[in-house]
Copies of this chain bind each other. A is one copy, B any other.
């Protein structure tokens, strides 16, 4: 393996004491180690040695242990690849080497590689790719191998995975002796396309294309839907549902986004992680198909499908936090505008992995269409559901990211989960954060740098052997000004595109951003990006370019749901951050803030706090009222419903609510009472 295309995550360095530097350092020094310990304690680490483990008795609990290890390995390699002289890294590096050996040794002669179907059910490989995560595991192993290759600059892990891909390519496809199927949990598709992008492996491309284009074919396998034929072949009864209760009804293939071909899907449905991983691959397929099959029109339909499903998701099925999925049973999407805040209000799931999937899909969509609407949501998910899913000390996690707690589901972090997809997924996502931050487009001597996210970081890459350095220095997410510094050969035509957040508010003179030195021409955002042309950048090489947004851009905003969501609530936001309140700051709370109402005219006060590590964050306080719920009970008429005069009699108590950034919740003990959206206080009905 010689050279491979540069990806921006590989070339990004976060600067000391920036927002993300601190978090990444905590993951490197704490999370990688605590997760490695748990991988070892639970048997996952040694599972590739192919010995029996008591957990296998259960039949299902260890089904995706391969992927748990693979995601940790992928994340570890991202961090190790960034040379920093950290003593503790040696332990991680040693584990990476040992795992690499174990995984390579676990491979069958024919290329097959899976713990469950080697140790537990060796005769049953590829008999239930719908339910048993077989190819999902393969996908994560491929991604791990790519990260491993990037770090170690060898192919000790990638070579076995390429061999496995060749087996899969022989096994699945439209040919007579092949299985005409596709996995129930997408992941391998996007991994195959990453493998193709890195190495040019066209078998990987072809297989991903087959999985994507065949998906949902109603007559693809012996004249029937593949999942029906596959189930019949293994002796399932007609209409039999998978183990577990994810399918609320028989043949609920929408759970797997396979109820119809992707081109025909109008709304985003089913398990939210699967949906995001699938569409990430679809968007990548569109991108790569332009190189490999130029002129093919059919992929434009897939681009339209991605856009249609993205819009349905963001406009009608996404929480204000960037979380997706309101239905607990299938860990996924409900109907349009169905976005209750908590389990006791009808459902909320908002899985961490799903928001990671949102970031992945947004990143891919930005490659197809540089539109701030994708970057806004990527940033929203990053700063709220994704960042918030890991504790400040890096050792505790959230699987679900409810917008309100309730007695049955208090806000509480865990070390780990039996179904452990989320914790190592956060590790690897933050590990490759540079890949989300910016992207480059190099065509000959024309170089474009697209800035999607803001922090203090440097991007370094080469063009024809010449070095380009680009640096941004901001105080995001707290303040809206910063400095850009470009160092590039003057013979390069460098274009810089900066994202303007949708929540940016213009200055009094109408400008949305102010740059110094000022460009000669007026700068107007196109799809929420402004463009600094080569004639400007060439004159500002090694000269700092200052930029700032209006001061009101980072002030407190109040958000309301779309009225169809039936939420008479307001939510506080500042910049990309959504705010919540929790009992540790509001000790008087006894009902998860259900009875607390905030007036739309309340005065919101803002101040800065420093946590025990000296890390700053902005808090907001507001006056509110707490309704006497016992009063509701007393006033309850026997006709269900409350008349205005009854409501006017309710006892109210003035309180003050302190809000913190949503990501910061669950770090300081407390009773687990937390809420994002607060009911609006107003006068009640007149007595008529």
Contact = CB atoms under 8 A, between A and B. Distances in A.
B682 A638 contact: no
Nearest to A408: B335
Interface residues of A, number: 71
Number of copies: 2
Given A639-B377, A640-B318, A641-B561, A570 B685 contact: yes
Contact of A558 (B237, B594, B643, B683): B643
Interface string A506-537: 00000000000000000000001000000000
Max chain B C-beta neighbours (<10 A), residue from A340, A528, A641, A683? A641
Interface in A225-254: 237, 240-241, 245, 248-250
A555 interface: yes
Contacts of A545: none
A561 B642 CA distance: 6
A13 interface: no
Given A335-B344, A346-B566, 15 more contacts: A245-B250, A248-B249, A314-B640, A315-B640, A318-B640, A319-B640, A346-B346, A372-B638, A376-B637, A376-B639, A555-B688, A559-B639, A559-B643, A560-B647, A564-B594
A409 B594 CA distance: 32
Given A340-B566, A346-B346, A502-B638, A688 B558 contact: yes
A95 interface: no
A237 B334 CA distance: 30
Contacts of A638: 314, 372-373, 376-377, 502, 528
Interface string A370-403: 0011001100100000000000000000000000
Interface in A10-37: none
A628 to B, nearest CB: 12
A555 B686 CA distance: 14
Contact of A249 (B329, B377, B683): B329
A600 B245 contact: no
A299 to B, nearest CB: 25
B315 A636 contact: yes
A644 interface: yes
The 6 closest A-B pairs by CB, nearest first: A559-B641, A568-B568, A373-B638, A245-B249, A376-B638, A248-B248
A594 B562 CA distance: 12
Contacts of A566: 340, 345-346, 566-568
A239 to B, nearest CB: 8
Contacts of A503: 637, 639, 643
A267 B255 CA distance: 30
Interface in A321-365: 322, 329, 334-338, 340, 344-346
B601 A686 contact: yes
A486 to B, nearest CB: 28
A307 interface: no
Contacts of A686: 600-601
B346 A335 contact: yes
A245 B247 CA distance: 10
A500 to B, nearest CB: 11
Interface in A578-612: 594-595, 600-601, 604
Contacts of A314: 638, 640
Interface in A614-662: 627, 632, 636-644, 647
